[in-house]
Amino acid sequence: MIRRLLLVLLYPLLGRVFLGLVVGVRCTGRKSLRQHRQFVLAGNHNSHLDSVALLAYMPLGMAGQVHPVAAADYFGGNGLKSRLYQWLVNVVLISREAGRREETIGRMIQLLDQGKSLIMFPEGSRGEADVMQSFKKGIGYLAAARPQVPVIPVYIDGFGKILPKGEKLLLPMPARVYIGEPVRLSSTDPAGITREIEAAVIALKPAAAGGAA
């Protein structure tokens, strides 16, 4: 209860004010989040700030119900830092190892069945600023297993400049978060679904949409 209150205070309230006035982030398309009780958010990944910022833009009532999915090999362990990260950012840890796909997807399906929502970065790592890597197929397996949960694409523009990979200094810069409509999936196989989700994320990119809105 206290943790939930803290998460509400921290993300939707303080987080949005901080991101808007101090960092200079603007978010468009939040309406599509409010229309669904549960979703899987799929976005491009450039910065540790990505999951924190997306948590801030989640609907107020969903505080504590949205879990960013993070790599166990990076954020795992019992150190204070990773404990704090799990407690404050509400992450679930999964394995990035190729041989343990069943177990990893199973864990995420379990969370969806409990009514939780997930934030996923299917690129698998943050990579270089503004260069998108191809999506890993895990999200395709998940969407194929639970087709009733909408997958909402999100494109994050400019966070690679605010807090790039390997940099400790957070530097405020204008950035944008574009949240799209749920992806209409026509494929049924995980590889095809993954490609469709990837295309939906790329389509939100301002250049692809014919210039910034």
Partner 1 sequence: MNRIIRIPDLELSYLLGVILGILILGTGIAALLRRRRPSDALDKIWQRAISWWWMTLPIIACVLLQDWFAVLFLAWLSYASTREFFSIAPVRGADRLALLIAYGSIPVQYGIAYQGRLLPLLGFIPLVIYATISYTLVLRQETQGIGRSMALIPGMIMLCVFYLSHAAALFPLAASLTPPASGIKLLMFLFLITEMNDVFQFFSGKLFGRHKILPIVSPNKTWEGFIGGIVLSTGFGAAMSFLLPLQAWQGAVVSACLAVAGFMGDTIISAIKRDLQIKDTGDIIPGHGGLLDRLDSLFLTAPAYYYLLNAFLGLL
Q: Interface residues with partner 1 (CB under 8 A)?
A: 21, 24, 26, 158, 161, 164, 167, 169, 171-174, 212-213
| Between 136 and 176, CB nearer to partner 1 | 176
How many other β-carbons are positioned within 10 Å of the β-carbon of residue 113? 10
Structure tokens at 195: 């490609």
- Smallest distance from the beta carbon of 15 to partner 1, in angstroms? 18
Phi/psi for 7 (5° steps) reads -65, -35
Q: Cα separation of 135 and 89, whole Å? A: 23
Distance separating the N- and C-terminal Cα atoms of the chain: 40
Contact 45, 164 (CB under 8 A): no
| Between 96 and 161, CB nearer to partner 1 | 161
| Between 31 and 168, CB nearer to partner 1 | 168
